[in-house]
Amino acid sequence: MSELDAHAPLRQDVRLLGQLLGQTLQEQESPVLLELVEDIRKLAKDARAGHEDQYPKLFEKLSKLEPELLVPVARAFSHFLNLANLAEQYHRVRRRREYQQTQRKNQRATMSELYPRLQRDNIDTDTIFETLNTLSIDLVLTAHPTEVTRRTLIQKYDDITQSLETLDTVNLTDIERNRVIENLKRNIVSAWNTDEIRQQRPTPVDEARWGFVTIEQTLWSAVPEYMRELNHWCEENLQRSLPMDFAPFTFSSWMGGDRDGNPNVTAVVTEEVLLLARWMAADLLNRDFENLYTKLSVTHCSDELRQWVGDHPEPYRAYLKPLRDRLFNTKSYLNAQLNKMEWYGDTPILTIDELMKPLKLCHQSLTECGMKEVANGDLLDTIRRLNSFGVTLLRLDVRQESSRHMDAIATITQAIGMGDYSQWDEEQKQRFLISELTSDRPLIPKFLKCSDEVQEVLDTFNMLTRQSIDALGAYVISMAHLPSDVLAVILLQKEAGMKSLMRVVPLFETLEDLQNAEATLKCLLDIDWYREHIQGQQEIMIGYSDSAKDAGFLAAAWVQYQAQEQLTRLCKQYGVQLTLFHGRGGSTSRGGAPSHEAILSQPPGAVNGRIRITEQGEVIRAKFTPFGVAIRTLQRYVAATLEATLIDRPQPDEQWRNMMTSLSENGTQSYRDMLRGDPRFLSYFHHATPEQELQRLPLGSRPAKRRQSGGIETLRAIPWVFAWTQMRLMLPGWLGADVAFQKALQQGKGDLLHEMYERWPFFRMVMGMLEMVLAKSDAQIAAYYERRLAQPEDRSLGQELQSRLAEMIDLVKNITDHSVLLQNNSVIRRSIEVRNPYLDPLHMLQVELMRSARLKQQETPDETRALMITVAGIAAGMRNTG
């Protein structure tokens, strides 16, 4: 089958969804709206096809829209892009199924594709199986300001995907097919008549609930289904079965726990999110036990089980019914907790053992009685869900900035007459912290007078003492610079009375912190008390966002790589097992590489069977819905983690390292010269991008800035990247790299760069990410924003940046030896091309709405809503945007 034929079904799906959306516009709004949208779409499509004389006509039509048409026109194009996303997501499922059916070749990033390469490297089956059994892949769900899709729309989108899958059924009758299309139309009409934009800023609890939906809708079923698939592969190829306790995946979350710079995340909010997560786990487990109660009607059981149930004719039902009922009551108990009410009902289920031991006994009994097939059905699925999700659904990470802990301890030391901790040098701080960590007396006065900020820090630790440790993940310290930053958090946990302490994870995120990461960790590991405390386990979080914002993508990528090398080597010297926690975002400049490539590009030895990685809101649904895509994502993670652990990667050649250092230094200098040295830059960024609008639109729970005063340095990485993406200049993804590559080529290093691209996974990943970001850039759209919005005196800068963008594209094609960007990924290239005619009107509408509001210094509710729709629509069209 040719590539063109392979993707023909996707084009058919997009065409069908577009037609149904058109019918919806005509029937739900008016034929006039459909005609207007079609005219705009045709003008945009013709302009993109090379008829540039159509752009002025497109601009004129959009700039003269009546106020009442702003919202429906913006919605029409935004809805199409969301429908195209659904079609593309389902097509990934279709392609996976085709690989499985034809078996013409093994799909990339699967165990079937990896296994022959493991054999070629003489890795025996025992080693493969043992390594597989010890994999630890923790996926950490985080929020994103533009991706808080309402749950009601998620359900409609899932129904649309299900209809597309049904249409793939070969033997549908005409009547059945028509019914499916009617259902598709029904969901599109319903989605059109549903307000997709929240009228108020989502709360951290809203974001957490959104994250729970992904688990409920797909991951709850996908995890055991993938393990069943993996077990089948093991039985066929390794001649052994995976153990019942096999659990390569765990799931964590930052939603409701990430308080760094977010005043909306308080101790009260975090506790509410923890209770809600438990409620969702109890609800899902209750459904599982209801299902088991229905299906396990068999009469034969082991003597051990019979001792529990007596002579009951249906022993499994008799054994499981009380657990089912207790799970139902657990939901009522958690509701009481959420409403601050007393609970007088039955004892709730709060630990995993209360469920796991009975389930294992049922499994053992069924197996002993010759019903292995029944034991390994839904019962085993529930056991595996319990292994991955527990009774808490997720493990909640807590994140806070290091200075907040320092302020808390400084308040305490001043209150007890020891002076100001914040003014002590590092040696004094460490000596004091270790002394208090080894002391039995309480440190914090009972009636401590402190600021609201310090009280909130102490309240958070007091709240954590009320939680079971299985509900908690890591305590992550932002802006961790010194060993005392880590010791301070351990001390605050101890003083709050936590029986089991959370593991404390320093986050090295700025360029300087990453460069000093090895020295900081060495100081920690040299402390006898600390080494004993961590019991041979150390976790470090690598930040991708702030380092790239600080020095540019290229320099950040290299310093992140070096930091991982150094930390891996250091932990090996101290006999400590290192887990690297990758704080990747969706966009290229925030580390958003495809998961498989990202894992394989790590330094040799850095993975070692263990990895934590953030999955951010905008890509969570892209990676975990629909069901088949979730399976594929889990498949990729296992294959990549296993490969990175077992297949030796050669250390990068010294020439390559020197080249990367040179590129990094030149790139950083160029990047900083622009941001800090060009007097036009701040004004250009402020006016030519939607930065002003993103700060005030109710798109996420967290403020866009860490502090309201200050410039770019106070702006968070997400809105920084997001603003440039909305206007398609994509500056954070390539600025500085252009000058670095240009200098290298002028020095005759072209062959070396091409060799690095061909032979070094890290550099190949870097170039792939650059190709992606450049393919999504558009100098013509950026120029439109600039002409309409930038100050006249700053427009020369825009022209320079657009010229540099064009040069950067040529440089990347030169190094990769590609005639076009994404030459090896025609599907994504085609996807971008198809979307552009639908994105262009949204860009133009956004510009005109911003221009009008800035001139009038006010906007109507319809204009505000239309602007939000353009922001969300462009984000949907661009996919990984922030």
Helix residue spans in 29-139 (DSSP H)? 31-48, 54-63, 67-102, 111-120, 125-133
User: Using 50, 70 and 90 to split pLDDT, how confident is the model at 792?
Assistant: very high
Mean pLDDT of 776-783: 96
User: Using 50, 70 and 90 to split pLDDT, how confident is the model at 715?
Assistant: low
CA neighbours closer than 13 Å in the CB half-sphere of residue 784 = 20
- 70 and 852 in contact (C-beta within 8 Å)? no
Helix (H, G, I), strand (E, B) or coil at 355: helix
Q: What is the pLDDT of residue 96?
A: 86
Asked whether the predicted pLDDT for residue 680 surpasses 60, the reply is: yes
Asked whether the predicted pLDDT for residue 5 surpasses 80, the reply is: no
Q: Report residue 383 as tokens.
A: 């056991």
Give which of 706, 695, 273, 277 is closest to 509, Cα–Cα.
706
Burial 743-780 (b: 16+ CB within 10 A, else e): ebeeeebeebbebbbeebbbbbbbbbbbbbbbbbbbbe
Q: Give the model confidence (pLDDT) of 400-412 as tens digits.
A: 999 999 999 999 9
Q: What is the pLDDT of residue 584?
A: 81
Give which of 611, 841, 614, 576 is closest to 718, Cα–Cα.
614
Q: Any idea what DSSP says for residue 713?
A: G
Asked whether the predicted pLDDT for residue 459 surpasses 90, the reply is: yes
Q: What is the pLDDT of residue 702?
A: 58
Give which of 294, 205, 288 is closest to 253, Cα–Cα.
205
Q: What is the pLDDT of residue 705?
A: 53
Q: To which residue do tokens 């493991």 refer?
A: 118
Q: Give the model confidence (pLDDT) of 298-312 as tens digits.
A: 999 999 999 999 999
CA 369, 372, 378, 379 torsion-angle sign: positive
Higher pLDDT: 446 or 695? It is 446
Q: Give the model confidence (pLDDT) of 273-297 as tens digits.
A: 999 999 999 999 999 999 999 999 9
Could you tell me which residues come within 8 angstroms of residue 487 by beta carbon, excluding any fewer than 6 positions away? 429, 430, 433, 434, 437, 524, 527, 530
Q: Give the model confidence (pLDDT) of 132-143 as tens digits.
A: 999 999 999 998
| Averaged pLDDT of the chain | 92
Q: What is the pLDDT of residue 765?
A: 94
CA 542, 544, 547, 553 torsion-angle sign: positive
- 565 and 603 in contact (C-beta within 8 Å)? yes
Position 848, amino acid: E
Q: To which residue do tokens 């700025």 refer?
A: 510
Q: What is the pLDDT of residue 149?
A: 59
Position 89, amino acid: Q
Asked whether the predicted pLDDT for residue 146 surpasses 60, the reply is: no
Burial of 313 (0-12, 13-18, 19+ CB in 10 A): exposed
Q: Report residue 797 as tokens.
A: 């800068």
CA 451 to chain centre: 34
Backbone angles phi, psi at 468, to 5 degrees: -80, 145
Helix (H, G, I), strand (E, B) or coil at 582: strand
CA neighbours closer than 13 Å in the CB half-sphere of residue 642 = 27
Which residues are catalytic, by number?
Answer: 144, 549
User: Using 50, 70 and 90 to split pLDDT, how confident is the model at 1?
Assistant: very low
Mean pLDDT of 60-76: 93
Q: What is the pLDDT of residue 200?
A: 76
User: Per mean pLDDT, which range of 431-440, 450-459, 538-547, 792-801 is the poorest?
Assistant: 538-547
Q: Any idea what DSSP says for residue 219?
A: I
User: Per mean pLDDT, which range of 21-25, 591-595, 661-665 is the poorest?
Assistant: 591-595
Asked whether the predicted pLDDT for residue 197 surpasses 80, the reply is: no
| 562 CB neighbour count, 10 Å cutoff | 19
Give which of 534, 485, 553, 472 is closest to 513, Cα–Cα.
485
Asked whether the predicted pLDDT for residue 107 surpasses 70, the reply is: yes
Q: Give the model confidence (pLDDT) of 727-753 as tens digits.
A: 999 999 999 999 999 999 999 999 999
User: Using 50, 70 and 90 to split pLDDT, how confident is the model at 165?
Assistant: very high
All domains in the chain, ordered by first residue: 279-389 (1.20.1440.90), 399-617 (3.20.20), 654-878 (no CATH)
Asked whether the predicted pLDDT for residue 106 surpasses 90, the reply is: no
Measured between alpha carbons, how far is residue 137 from residues 409, 593, 689 in Å?
35, 17, 38
Asked whether the predicted pLDDT for residue 882 surpasses 60, the reply is: no
d(CA 177, CA 183): 10
Q: Give the model confidence (pLDDT) of 818-873 as tens digits.
A: 999 999 888 888 889 889 999 999 999 999 999 999 998 888 888 988 998 999 89
CA neighbours closer than 13 Å in the CB half-sphere of residue 306 = 10
- 822 and 772 in contact (C-beta within 8 Å)? yes
- 699 and 147 in contact (C-beta within 8 Å)? no
Backbone angles phi, psi at 693, to 5 degrees: -70, -40
Helix (H, G, I), strand (E, B) or coil at 104: coil
d(CA 709, CA 601): 38
User: Using 50, 70 and 90 to split pLDDT, how confident is the model at 880?
Assistant: low
DSSP string covering 505-557: EEEE-SHHHHHTHHHHHHHHHT-HHHHHHHTTEEEEEEESHHHHHHH-HHHHH
Give which of 386, 371, 127, 367 is closest to 240, Cα–Cα.
127
Asked whether the predicted pLDDT for residue 219 surpasses 50, the reply is: yes
Q: Give the model confidence (pLDDT) of 312-348 as tens digits.
A: 999 999 999 999 999 999 999 999 999 999 999 989 9
d(CA 836, CA 878): 9
- 204 and 265 in contact (C-beta within 8 Å)? yes
Looking at the DSSP assignment, which residues form a beta bridge with residue 138?
250, 612
CA 463 to chain centre: 27
Could you tell me which residues come within 8 angstroms of residue 578 by beta carbon, excluding any fewer than 6 positions away? 538, 539, 540, 567, 568, 571, 606, 608, 610
First-to-final CA distance of the chain: 36
Measured between alpha carbons, how far is residue 265 from residues 207, 488, 682 in Å?
11, 21, 30
Q: Give the model confidence (pLDDT) of 591-630 as tens digits.
A: 556 788 889 999 999 999 999 999 987 788 889 989 999 9
Give the β-pairing of 537-543 and 503-508.
parallel
d(CA 152, CA 711): 38
Task: State which of 109-113, 234-238, 832-836 shows the largest mean pLDDT.
Answer: 234-238
Mean pLDDT of 457-484: 97
Measured between alpha carbons, how far is residue 360 from residues 319, 391, 393 in Å?
12, 16, 20
d(CA 628, CA 159): 14
Asked whether the predicted pLDDT for residue 475 surpasses 90, the reply is: yes
User: How many residues can be counted in the chain?
Assistant: 882
